[in-house]
Amino acid sequence: HSIFKPVVSAIMECFRPGAVVMQCGADSLSGDRLGVFNLSFKGHAECVKFVRSFNIPMLVLGGGGYTLRNVPRCWTYETGILIGEEIDDMLPYNDYFDYFGPDYRLHLPLTNIDNSNSKKYLEDTTRHIVGLIRGLEGVPGTEICTGQPGTKQVPPSFMEIDDDEDDEDDMSNSKDDEDEREVQNGKLSFQEENNNS
């Protein structure tokens, strides 16, 4: 709760997405063969529930999870969360029932993995991440500028042209004009010269 919710809230506030694609890898669950986290199914699903609370369309995907008996339990529980249905902890009899023994329950006990992160470290890290997100330019849209052909090399928001709008047609794209640019306050701008023509 103390990390996921503030970070996701900041993301939603900054970008105000029209939809969310959420990948719910199960490798962060307690008892995963490769993961070193200790999340319960309920804690994992709380993340899904929180994103769902923003009432925007979601595409929820599976992924990850290396303790095979835990993955279907997780996705079953989270599917119930997504459709608003409470799922009984006792698993119903099915062709794979024996696979989920000896307890035959949806929810499993947590393992006793010590959390090596101090509360202060987690709070400081969360505060830092939220600060970085709030420093991003979000809504109304974030352009993708990779520097590859077909995209703009430098985002227009980084360029500040000091010429009047009337003089826009007079600007040339020559190398000399590009050399006149300088960085001021983190933005590229053209240096104005006393040009009365």
pLDDT at residue 168, as a whole number: 46
Distance in angstroms (rounded) separating the CA atoms of residues 25 and 100: 20
| Segment 115-131 mean pLDDT | 93
Distance CA 187, CA 59 (A): 37
Looking at the whole model, is its pTM more than 0.85? no
- Distant-in-sequence, close-in-space partners of 57: CB < 8 Å, separation ≥ 6: 18, 19, 20
Q: Confidence class of residue 31 from pLDDT cuts 50, 70 and 90?
A: confident
Q: Rounded to whole angstroms, how far apart are CA atoms 88 and 106?
A: 8
- Over 50: is that where the pLDDT of 179 sits? no
Q: What is the pLDDT of residue 147?
A: 60
Task: For residue range 40-51, list pLDDT tens digits in order.
Answer: 899 999 999 999
Output the pLDDT for position 188.
Answer: 42
Quick: pLDDT tens for 146-175: 666 666 555 455 555 444 444 444 444 444
